[in-house]
Structure 1
Amino acid sequence: MQSTQLSFFPDEDENKSTKKQKKPKLGRYERIKRELENNDIDPYKKFIDVDTPLIAASQYNFVDLFCGAGGITQGLIQAGFQALASVETSSIASATHQRNFPHCHHFCGDIEQFSPKIWLKQIGSPEVNLVVGGPPCQGFSVAGKRDPKDPRNRLFYEFVRVVSEIRPWYVVMENVPGILTIQNGNVKQAIIEAFESIGYPNISVAILESADYGIPQIRPRAIFIANRFGMPNPYPKAQLSPEKYKPIESAISDLPEYTPIPEINHQWTRHSPEYMERIAKVPPGGSLYQKYVDAFKRQYPGKPSMTVKENHGGTHIHPYLNRVISAREMARLQTFPDSFIFEGTMKKAMWQIGNAVPPRLAECIGYALIPYLNKIALNTKNKVDVTCIDQTELVFD
């Protein structure tokens, strides 16, 4: 059953919804990306054409930490990888992951309780080719002595701990682009040093714009890649230029306008007639509210979606309908297939979708990795510089 829309914000803002809104800047991280590229002297960072992906020489497997509903897992499976295990603390996101990936070993709980060595032994001690994930890093403390148990940064250190025990060939870590400029770049440097200390030197970082890979959404992500063989750190080359980005309509125009389909999460908060009248007055790029402009903002027609998210009950307004976008429309904009079903309430589904990495982005990252995973798998001494790296032990007590 769908409920009538209630206002989450003060009434004083409701009467101002018809005022002209300032259009949002879709390229809010362009400056960070430009500065990163202009100052980049990383010889290990390589951009790979993934328009015609290479065939994997072996069945490459991965572990997904902080997996959420499974955006990265879905994308890597699409690229031909095998999901060995996932770790997630949210019970509802875990339920979604287990529903869509029933053959993946799944650990639902605090990552501090996850013991990868014990788990690997239980499933036959397979070699892990890749560990991926997006640990929260925004509260990372770099002032003075860093305490791994500090709640602001312990989750990142747990990610590093698991990597140090599993020893995958490659590591891929994603986060928001703003992570690169927190505390004048000191957080970025702390991340690099943490991976260096466990035998993953020469870590690379790049900002990938999701829309560059055919995703109908502006969603830049900071992607860290490292390996323990002294190999290049490959990233997928952009496939589309901005003028060829896919518009929002390309993903959602065939879904029913006002008829929900709960079976595929095509649901949204039902609005009262009065609320719909107010929504009708909101221009593209404008918000229903003046003070809370990140919620109930109308999408631009003919352009990629603004970054989708669930914001305390408020999502974006449909580009031309007088309602907010549905959970399935959000999922389409993230490139989840319609067969991917989200567990929980409509609001919880939107929360999971808004926190996910677009599967298509993860798929392209997987394609970029395959040539170098092939070199390692096919072996060899004259092809791969397997450098012996002294490993400094990380202490997590």
Structure 2
Amino acid sequence: MYRLRAISLFSGAGGFCAGIERAGYQIAVAVEKDRSACQTYRANFPSVPLYEGDIQKFLAPKSGHGELYGLQEIDLCYGGPPCQGHSSIGARDADDERNGLWVEFARIIDSIRPKSFIMENVPGILSSGLGKFKREILQKFQAIGYSNVTLVQVDASDFGAPQIRKRVLFVGTRDDLRLSGSLDGLLKSGLDAHRQPVISVDEAISDLPEAVCEPGEMVGYASKPSSDYQRTRRSRNLKVSGHHTKRIGPRRANLIAHLAAGQNADSLPPELWDGVRAQKWRRLDGSKPSHTLLAQMGKDLSEWIHPHFSRWLTLREAARIQGFPDNFGFPCSESEALKQVGNSVPPPLAYAVGLVVKEILGGAVIARKRGRPTKGVRPMTGGERHRRWRETHGSVALTVSPELAERIRLARDELCLTTAELLGQALDALVEQRRPRLKRAA
């Protein structure tokens, strides 16, 4: 079958997209406002159409975006609206104007009518405003035809990212989709099935050299890969880019030299530290996953000190810990790149949830008579569906009787499938039916 089609909102540098693409989706369009993030996105996803601009103008009336980007029959819409107003890090402000950007996410869902959506955010959104935002989000999605909506709290370290990063995922499916079970049960059991062993910082970055390079340069690896994680991130690369970091003065270098692995400023002698905010100075423990990477890295790396060397993490080491492959480039300033890494959804987490939603959709059937018609975007015709299939997978000519052709057409329309999808499912069922006979014959 052809790859499922997806739309990316609040795309940033593309961490969410990297995982979703790996899970087998084709990204129809990505939407991002930040100019530097768009520069990084284009460099890494050259074939994905990118709408660079305010999300409030995307799919506005008479914009023609639906037809321009071919947004018919979208399987998944995903993204992480900015969450600074809900975050427990820093000043928490329930009135922060960025808190309302999830409404734009819902507006686009209502316009495009995808089969499913994933909205990622910080756990603080569940308690922010005394639970007001959680209630409003669930009620909004239910009101626009996604009453089958649930949420789940996850930690990226459970899905192959060497980092403690707790997030909440709102996941919903369109009301006309009949699932093989409850969405909440399918989501949680699917995620449980995709859990991975915990990966430590050393398993993630120990093959990168102690010496750093200048921005724009490349450097060779310090050793052969010592873990599957390193091997996967390196692929066939012989050198790596982005292994640079912020400069460090003598006073700070002396301070961090006194920090043991996993320790913060509480362990420092009084002559080196003034006793204010112990978490400002933190050395990673190489035997454990990292604590959460934040956009704050773009300004100050004192909370992300290398577990063994007296320096900050490099951009490449931070990208590794976030789950990016080594061929993912950041063609922007160092500060902007570190900010983009800290803001990204870890690709391993995105990959896992993308696979689970794909599995859920694979077992769903569209109840056409009860379904809500597509709003705002013209449904794809049968000819367009067939043309899209041919362009992606080629074509096969079959000669059948008029009676069989009519039966195929009726079944195809009833199940809302392409002819190729219908025949593929029929063949799979036939193979399963004959398999016991073949075993007995053997």
Shorter chain as normaliser: what TM range?
A: 0.7 to 0.9
Question: What residue in structure 2 maps to residue 307 of structure 1?
Answer: 292
1:183 paired residue number: 129
Task: Quote the Cα distance in structure 2 between the aligned partners of 1:77 and 1:222.
Answer: 21
Q: What fraction of aligned residue pairs are identical, expressed as a percent?
A: 34
Secondary structure of 2:50's partner?
Answer: strand
Shift of 1:372: 2.4
Structure-2 separation of matches of 1:276 and 1:206:
41
Q: 1:98/1:293 Cα in 2 relative to 1: closer, same or farther (>3 Å)?
A: farther
Partner secondary structure for residue 68 of structure 1: coil
Given candidates 67, 70, 73, the residue that maps to 2:14 is 70
**1:387 Cα offset (Å):** 4.5
What are the Cα deviations for residues 18-58 of structure 1, in whole angstroms up to 9, with x where unaligned? Answer: xxxxxxxxxxxxxxxxxxxxxxxxxxxxxxxxxxxxxxx43
Residue among 249, 264, 275 paired with 1:272: 249
Are 1:325 and 2:306 an aligned pair? no
Q: Name the structure 1 match of 2:334.
A: 346
Task: Please report how far the alpha carbon of residue 365 of structure 1 lies from its aligned counterpart in structure 2 after TM superposition.
Answer: 0.7
- The answer to whether 1:252 aligns with 2:221 is no
* Superimposed CA distance per residue, residues 208-258 of structure 1 (whole angstroms, 9 cap, x where no aligned partner): 1111112111111100100112534324116558xx521110111011112
The residue that corresponds to 2:73 in the other structure is 127
Q: CA deviation at 1:371?
A: 2.0
SS class of match (2:64): helix
CA distance change for structure 1 residues 138 and 306 in 2, over 3 Å: closer, same or farther?
closer
> Hey, what's the Cα distance between the residues in 1 that align with 2:200 and 2:280?
21
Answer with 1 or 2: which has the greater Rg.
2
User: Cα distance 1:249–1:238, how it changes in 2: closer, same or farther (>3 A)?
Assistant: farther
For residues 96 and 209 of structure 2, the distance between their equivalents in structure 1, rounded to whole angstroms, comes to: 47
User: How much is the aligned-residue C-alpha RMSD, in angstroms?
Assistant: 2.7
Describe the shift of the 1:273–1:212 C-alpha distance in structure 2 as closer, same or farther (beyond 3 A): same
Give the superposition deviation at 1:169. Answer: 0.3
Q: CA deviation at 1:366?
A: 1.1
Higher helix share: 2
Distance apart, 1:343 and its partner CA = 2.5
* 1:89-108 superposed matches below 5 A: 89-108=33-52
TM-score by length of structure 1 reads 0.75
Calculate the TM-score normalised by the size of structure 2. 0.67
Distance 1:226 1:386 in 2: 20
For 2:280 and 2:336, the matched residues in 1 are separated by: 16
Q: Structure 2 counterpart of 1:237, which letter?
A: D
Residues 67 and 339 from structure 1, CA distance in 2 versus in 1: closer, same or farther, beyond 3 angstroms?
A: same
CA distance change for structure 1 residues 198 and 350 in 2, over 3 Å: closer, same or farther? same
Partner of 2:138: 192
Alignment size in residue pairs: 322
Residues 114-172 of structure 1: per-residue CA shift (max 9 Å, x gap): 127722212445321100011135648xxxxxxxx983443111111111111100010
**Preserved contact between residue 87 and residue 107 of structure 1 (Cα < 8 Å):** yes
Would the alpha carbon gap of residues 80 and 390 (structure 1) be closer, same or farther in structure 2, given more than 3 Å must change? closer
Whole-Å Cα distance in 1 between the matches of residues 331 and 100 of structure 2?
28
2:110 corresponds to: 164
**Amino acid paired to 2:324:** F
CA shift, 1:386, in A, is: 7.6
Distance in 2, Cα, partners of 1:76 & 1:174: 13
CA 1:150/1:219 → structure 2, altered by over 3 Å: closer, same or farther?
Answer: closer
Residue in 2 aligned with 1:356?
344
Larger relative contact order (CA 8 Å, sep ≥ 6): 1
Residue 31 of structure 2 contacts residue 51 of structure 2 at CA under 8 Å; is this kept in 1? yes
> In 2, Cα distance between the equivalents of 1:219 and 1:108?
28
Note if contact 2:120-2:169 (Cα within 8 Å) is conserved in structure 1: yes
Aligned equivalents of 2:194, 2:56: Cα separation in 1? 38
> Which residue is equivalent to 1:237?
192
